[in-house]
Structure 1
Amino acid sequence: MNTPPSPPGAQRSDGSSVRIGALVPLTRPGWVEAGQHLLAGLELAVRDVNDAGGIGGRPLELVVRDTAADPQRAAAAVDELARLGVTALAGEYHSVVARAAATRADALGLPFLCSSAVLDTLTEQPTEWVARLSPPQSRGWQVYADFLLGAGHRRIAVATQPSIYWASGTRVLRNHLATRGGAVTELDMSALTPTAVCDELVDQRATALLLLVGHPEPAASIVRSVRRDQRLTEVMIGAPAGQPEFAEWATSLGDADTAIPFLRYLPERLSPLGARVETALRERLAEAPSFVAYEGYDTVAVLADVLRSHGTDRAHTAESWPGVAVEGTRGQIQFSRVPGISVWQWARTPIQVVDRDPAEPDRFRILFPSPPKVRNRTS
């Protein structure tokens, strides 16, 4: 592996702790609630690592930087953290921001384990320095497309805004659905009002509307308009990017927040470790943890295992990705090379399509893949 020259002071450490840089959106326009869940998972795992003796007897320490969903701010944070001598980077939720961070980390030779961003092209060229826990968008959104087809939807409308992330998701959906008799129509929310969206849905005879837009606005206004329109009572609203996972979604939409399917990266049942972590996260967050919180925990669990086994040298950390085998909260984590993906990828990340149950909004229903039916025992 070619190791880029480290910037001055890159390997400096005060000797008292092993430091990991954490990139997290904690202020607007970042998704603050997602950032809080991600940070809670990171911090809980650091506590558990230190309770178990740290890294070779040295405590693990997070050095947190707020990205605020700003790619330039994230790249600057990577530079700063590299100068501070962090051993590796962790975190980030927003895909476009993670892409900027991954590109800069690759250039500096700083290992980066991305927790929660899904954009396929985190770096333009294959890199040894970056690994990722969340599934690539091409895989997750194909699962969502299969869910749509299985539910009988062939005419899909997407309400979208200009963004590399939304454009990439639309392309995945269109390509996957086109080969299976489906079609995708784009509704440009820079030119349409929520009321005009309703008219377009009627004209296009769409049976499903996907929200590829920001939250709370214009997503909340679109949902309210569609749900109030008597012409669209049979139209399914979906949000593949996962907005309904968070309590803020329910708060902003009230009674309209349920029955909106989204992607969630959890197994049907958590492992014993996952169940223990769930309890601790619920106490830390004062609410049910999202899948993003588990991603944060698993990120530190992987990095801690690598640092214990291979030491704190950055190059050795990056070289260790293919040998990782760590039991995380959602299954065993291993990295491999996936065709079309430029970073080391956990290829078996669990993927569900779920929604909030209209009869019990605090409960999530697994819609796809369908949970196995429980057979009655007979004597």
Structure 2
Amino acid sequence: MSGMVNQVRPPRGDEEERTDGSSVRIGALVPLTRPGWAEAGRHLLAGLELAVRDANDGGGIAGRPLELVVRDTAADPQRAVAAVDELAGLGVAALAGEYHSVVARAAAARADALGLPFLCSSAVLDALTEQPTERVARLAPAQSHGWRIYADFLLGAGHRRVAVAAEPSVYWASGTRILRDHLAPRGGTVIELDMRALDPGALCEELVDHRATALLLLVGNPEPAVSIVRSVRRDERLAEIMIGAPAGQPEFAAWATSLGGDGAAIPFLRYLPERLGPLGTRVGTALRERLAEAPSFVAFEGYDTVAVLADVLRSHGVDRARTAESWPSVAVEGTRGQIQFSRTPGISVWQWAWTPVQVVDRDPAEPGRFRILHAG
């Protein structure tokens, strides 16, 4: 459905589109149901909604209210493409959102083909589009940037024999390649373990046989990630192994709820500065109230997405071509720093280079608290 920002909810089949024709509409792609990572989607949507509310409290777009038209992608690329087609037909000025990289890639390709500007909030896959495009921009750091920082953390912690428990995916395969390319010249080894062929018990045997000192979870959440963590934690032979999750599975409250203390001390990537400035602090407080829990970095990504688009629409009008031409001139104070876009080698879209990157984990003494282990 669509609605004014303080009425936006996940789409329901029994509701029809409602608009009085006077609003400026932004289409939002969000994973709200499984197999999508619905918890991440809920945080992303909370940030998008809050920023639209703030934009409207500040006068909207040249006196016209900003409206969010939300579509659930459910982590399905085909569903996302259909949503892009629908949103383009509804006359949205721009497209925002998406968390899953493979889904965002499909949406970006379709938006580019339709001439619809797309500001991607959270997906990190380097090749977000096959060919360079002027229409797509991204807030999240490219995977090659963030995962190299994670690899530096592994090296600094003394890990040279790193196993990856991986499922088939362009995203996981890309992550494995980035880790290997960064670790190999520095004396590190990446051991690939195919989770299509291994259950958690068999995985533990492989870890022992390969003498791995670190295991990275390149798998879906909650399963099989939760089952793998439980099995490894209970295997006395693996008491010294470090479990890591560069994609950020432990960021969300459900992780701690599912695993308790077993879910602590599992380093992951998140995209926040060490300290938030005044805007980030204010937005964080509002997001906590909206979510009834601590906001993840994904919620801040959602807020910053709409903050950028609102600024562009105010400055350049609602014409799609002008919006697409405006990425190089963006200079917006976001919740996590000054946002500007540039062309980055190897990246086919306009990129914020770079969002703050941290490696953090949940404190074993207090799993609700995060410890910053490394920053880049």
Q: How high is the TM-score relative to the length of structure 2?
A: 0.94
Q: Select which of 338, 363, 368 maps to 1:357.
A: 363
SS at match of 1:179: helix
SS at match of 2:67: strand
**CA distance, structure 2, for counterparts of residue 333 and residue 167 of structure 1:** 29
Q: Select which of 130, 133, 155 maps to 1:149.
A: 155
Deviation track 1:102-153 (CA, whole Å, cap 9, x = no partner) reads 0000000000000000000010000000000000000000000000000000
**CA distance, structure 2, for counterparts of residue 297 and residue 347 of structure 1:** 18
Quote how far apart the aligned CAs of 1:14 are.
5.7
Residues 260 and 367 of structure 2 are in contact (CA less than 8 Å); yes or no, is this contact kept in structure 1? Answer: no
Q: How does 1:51-200 map to 2 (within 5 A)?
A: 51-200=57-206
Deviation track 1:265-296 (CA, whole Å, cap 9, x = no partner) reads 00000110000000000000000000000000
Q: Could you tell me which residue of structure 1 aligns to residue 35 of structure 2?
A: 29
**CA distance, structure 2, for counterparts of residue 278 and residue 14 of structure 1:** 32
**CA distance, structure 2, for counterparts of residue 270 and residue 181 of structure 1:** 36
Quote how far apart the aligned CAs of 1:179 are.
1.1
Q: Select which of 262, 268, 285 maps to 1:262.
A: 268
Q: How does 1:31-50 map to 2 (within 5 A)?
A: 31-50=37-56
Unpaired stretches in structure 1, ≥5 consecutive residues: 1-12, 371-379
Q: Percent identity?
A: 84
Q: Could you tell me which residue of structure 2 aligns to residue 332 of structure 1?
A: 338
Q: Could you tell me which residue of structure 2 aligns to residue 17 of structure 1?
A: 23
Deviation track 1:210-230 (CA, whole Å, cap 9, x = no partner) reads 000011111111101110111
Q: Displaced runs of 4+ in structure 1, greater than 4 A?
A: none
Specify the code of the residue in structure 2 equivalent to 1:44: L
Q: Select which of 272, 277, 283 maps to 1:277.
A: 283
CA 1:14–1:127 in structure 2 vs 1: closer, same or farther (change >3 Å)?
A: farther
**CA distance, structure 1, for counterparts of residue 72 and residue 349 of structure 2:** 23
Q: Could you tell me which residue of structure 1 aligns to residue 313 of structure 2?
A: 307
Deviation track 1:219-265 (CA, whole Å, cap 9, x = no partner) reads 11110111011111110000000000001111111221100000000
Residue-pair matches, total: 358
Deviation track 1:326-356 (CA, whole Å, cap 9, x = no partner) reads 0000000000000000000000210000000
- Which deviates more, 194-203 or 328-337? 194-203
Q: How high is the TM-score relative to the length of structure 1?
A: 0.94
SS at match of 1:30: coil
Q: Could you tell me which residue of structure 2 aligns to residue 10 of structure 1?
A: none
Quote how far apart the aligned CAs of 1:15 are.
4.0
Q: Could you tell me which residue of structure 2 aligns to residue 236 of structure 1?
A: 242
**CA distance, structure 1, for counterparts of residue 291 and residue 161 of structure 2:** 39
Q: Could you tell me which residue of structure 2 aligns to residue 296 of structure 1?
A: 302
Unpaired stretches in structure 2, ≥5 consecutive residues: 1-18
Specify the code of the residue in structure 1 equivalent to 2:316: H
Q: Could you tell me which residue of structure 2 aligns to residue 376 of structure 1?
A: none
Specify the code of the residue in structure 2 equivalent to 1:109: G
Deviation track 1:284-309 (CA, whole Å, cap 9, x = no partner) reads 00000000000000000000000000
